[in-house]
Amino acid sequence: MAPLEPLEPLEPRGVYIHIPFCSAICNYCNFNRGLFDPLQKSRYVNALLGEIARAGEAGRAGRAADTIYFGGGTPSLLDPADVTRIISACREAFDVSSDAEITLEANPETVDEVRLSAFRTAGVNRLSFGVQSFREPELRRLSRLHSADRARQALADARGAGFDNVSLDLMMWLPGQNVSEWLESVDAGIAAAPEHLSLYLLEVYPNAPLKEDMARGKWSQAPDDDAAAMYLAAMDRLEAAGYEQYEISNVARPGRRCRHNMKYWRDGEWFGFGCGAHGTIAGVRRKNVAGTDDYIERIVRGESAAAESRRLSPTERLGDALFMGLRLVDGIDLEETGRRYGVDVWQRYGTELEPFIAAGMLKRNGSRLALTRQGMLVANEVMTVFV
């Protein structure tokens, strides 16, 4: 493919902010996080403010941003005053729209109505709660700190604090979990009436302490067929309850899709701030150093926090756009993507995609190509075509 000129982003950019602190480390966790330390947290927030301001000065800003996403770790361990300062720094560095979606990931045990009200005053207008399960034995097995009641209370507190855009994360295929136990959590999630739910499949990493806990407790994950049944039954229930699946792992009430995450799936652009954060702006992918202290020290020394910064090749950009876009239930528009990248997408990938269409994993409707629900179960296999 010929070199690509920087493509105009399809929509305003997003801002991702990584908060790497947790009250305890869950036995399955593979994220970039560490134990909360108030002094380190203060230094980290100052470093974040510095990195955001520098991005503004460097002229990487100037374009509109319409989402800010605090991910972690456990961003709800921040003081509301920290969140206020970080959002203000974003507003100074970027042209953040007045109706921007501002999400804070929160763990149920870290919040009450007073704290949530303060986050709302700071400018947060969307919460994403890491609930994972509404069954006590499962929460204990995952070494989570909250109970099912605490999760329900957190949602009630969010309503009390005035939030009308709340998401819950649930995790399926937990050790020792069968299909009906999983569906208990799905039903409890529906009963809690959030605007959005994300469903993830537990991946047990080889060095996760959970692996040893499973051996000791003699818990195993259900067979693969049951994992597929869990996914399909959950999606059926959620749809019957009025949620619309819009991505492999995400459902929402109409109008409540996560605008920030849509940027990842729709070939958008976003800045990433904080340790381990990555961003993609004008075809350049940047990833910050992972270590919290390393990150702080680099910013203090006036150095870049980037561990990697690489201009993606035209082929990589096209591959990413297709790979990520296919995660959406609406799939990808082959003509639009082809025009954007100056290639005939079908000519390039059609031969490899045809067998998946024949097998009922993919469907093509005019210029739209999308996974079927069965195809979502083997999405990684289909997507390797683009890598």
Binders of ligand SF4 among 7-66, rule CB under 6 A? 22, 25-26, 29, 31, 33
Phi, psi of 152 (to 5 degrees): -65, -40
Judged by CB under 6 A, does residue 73 bind ligand SF4? yes
Nearer to ligand SF4, 245 or 261 (CB): 261
Nearer to ligand SF4, 69 or 246 (CB): 69
Q: How far is the CB of 145 from ligand SF4 (least distance, A)?
A: 8
Is residue 71 within 8 Å of residue 17, measured between CB atoms?
A: yes
Q: What is the length of the chain?
A: 387
Residues paired with 25 in a beta bridge: none
Q: How far is the CB of 226 from ligand SF4 (least distance, A)?
A: 23
Q: How far is the CB of 130 from ligand SF4 (least distance, A)?
A: 6
The overall longest dimension of the chain from CA atoms, in Å, is 58
- Pick from 74, 76, 133, 288: which binds ligand SF4 (CB under 6 A)? 74
Binders of ligand SF4 among 241-300, rule CB under 6 A? none
SS (H, E, C) 76-114: HHCCHHHHHHHHHHHHHHCEEEEEEEEEEEECHHHCCHH
Nearest in space to 55 (alpha carbons), one of 214, 386, 277, 325: 277
Binding segment for ligand SF4 among 52-60, 67-75, 192-200, 372-380 (CB under 6 A)?
67-75
Task: Identify each DSSP E strand in the chain by its residue range.
Answer: 13-19, 21-22, 34-35, 64-72, 95-106, 126-132, 166-172, 196-201, 244-247, 250-252, 270-273, 278-281, 284-288, 306-311, 332-333, 362-365, 368-371
- Pick from 14, 72, 272, 325: which binds ligand SF4 (CB under 6 A)? 72
What is the size of the binding site for ligand SF4 (CB under 6 A)?
11
Distance CA 105, CA 250 (A): 15
- Pick from 50, 108, 123, 130: which binds ligand SF4 (CB under 6 A)? 130
Q: How far is the CB of 203 from ligand SF4 (least distance, A)?
A: 12
- What does the per-residue mask of binding to ligand SF4 show for 103-122, with x meaning CB under 6 A? ----x---------------
What are the residues binding ligand SF4 (CB under 6 A)? 22, 25-26, 29, 31, 33, 72-74, 107, 130
